[in-house]
Amino acid sequence: MNCFSVSGIFCTQDLIQEFGNARKEGIVRAFKLEIIEEQIVSTAKFDVEGNEVEDFEKIKDFMEPKKGCYVLYRLDSQNKQFGFEWAFFSYVGEGSKVKDRMLYASSKDNCRKKLGYTYFITNLYGTDADEFTFEMIKEARKPSSSKQETLQLLTENEKIQREEKFMEVAQGTQTEYVHGVAFPCSTDLMEKFKNLVSGQVNLVQVALNIQNESLELDSAETIESVDNVVRNLNNDHPRYVFWNYKYIKDNESKNTLIFFYVCPDIAPIKEKMLYSTVKSAALTQAKQVGVDPEKKLEVRDLNDLTEEWLKNELHPVKKETNVRRFTKPKRAGRGSRRLIRSKK
């Protein structure tokens, strides 16, 4: 994943148990699942009333505008080994928040894995409730379906990558992707970026405003030592840090603009995923006003950020290797002519 492909969000034990009971009893027709407090939970369900076609339209009541959810739909067909077959739907409504689109796309495989891949005969995606039709399930059931044949040939990782592409959300004439989300910089932040270029400050720390989906100024100041930079960093939440680092190397004064992506291991999963996704957008917008870091580094443990480590990252020690030189022999027919004695 790659690290952004699969999240660390999983189904609760209550959900796993409830789904297990539903498979055995055959009474529940559909579940609505949502991501709440970094867990996948069941938030609604309805029982079997008609046949699989007649009940199908009711799942659209689960799909709210500008929100996301998964839907587990029990079919009437049964597998001799696993019982009733199920369909898995991923829904993220148009206009939903970027973090929701990202979370539902990257957590889907964890959900199916925990509930059991073998119970789901199809995995469908959409951004509009009306996109989901029972014809899609009929198509997936066809043994000769080229789509099914293709999916059977894919590795699980390839399936994940293929599925995430379906989670694109079109807005107007633009298409936003889960990876590479563009959060706009606040006015204050852009102003401090300019101050960084002019030398009024040498460090700018950036935080994400997840609610407003924007990049905000966390702090801007002048800090000379690595130790003082560490003291000013948050050890519980990710941050982007732009620092104009001045130091001495070989008796010469050096100046290097560094970008730190600080991502503590103990930070909330949602934040780590979002910061990782938005990082390129932050760098792109900073570059537009002249902030173009020469070195980009990632820090997970602030104890690792030391003067020695930083200088080694900027100027790695070159290992000397003894190279044995040899003279390449001349090819036949080259060089001075040799005396050839004829035999008498």
pLDDT per residue as tens digits for the range 268-285: 888 888 898 889 889 999
27-31, 47-51, 179-183: the lowest-pLDDT one: 179-183
- The rounded distance, in Å, linking the Cα atoms of 220 and 204 is 4
Taking the C-alpha atoms of 100, 164, 93 and 55 in order, what is their torsion angle to the nearest 10 degrees? -120
Q: Which of the two residues, 163 and 187, has the higher pLDDT score?
A: 187
Phi/psi at 122 (nearest 5 deg)?
A: -155, 160
Distance from C-alpha of 128 to C-alpha of 89, rounded to nearest angstrom: 12
What is the average pLDDT across 23-51?
Answer: 95
Mean pLDDT, residues 7-32:
92
> Residue 102: pLDDT above 60?
yes
Torsion of CA 250, 253, 257, 259, to 10 degrees: 50
CA distances from 333 to 277, 312, 328, 342 (A): 63, 52, 15, 19
The DSSP-derived string for 120-144 is: EEEEEEESSGGG--HHHHHHHH-TT
Backbone torsions φ then ψ of 278, nearest 5 degrees: -85, -10
How large is the average pLDDT for residues 85-103? 90
> What is the chain's length?
344
Q: What is the pLDDT of residue 89?
A: 95
- Which of these, 57, 58, 55, 70, lies nearest to 11 by C-alpha position? 70
Q: Which of the 8 DSSP states describes residue 210?
A: T
Q: Which domains does the chain have, with CATH numbers?
A: 2-176 (3.40.20.10), 187-314 (3.40.20.10)
Give pLDDT tens digits for 287-321: 999 999 999 999 998 888 999 899 889 988 776 55
Q: What is the mean pLDDT of residues 212-226?
A: 91
The SS3 call for residue 290 is coil
What was the pLDDT predicted at 267? 85
Residue 7 confidence (pLDDT): 60
What pLDDT is stored for residue 88 in this prediction?
Answer: 95
Flag whether pLDDT at 118 surpasses 70.
Answer: yes
DSSP 166-194: TT-EEETTEEE-SSS--PPBPHHHHHHHH
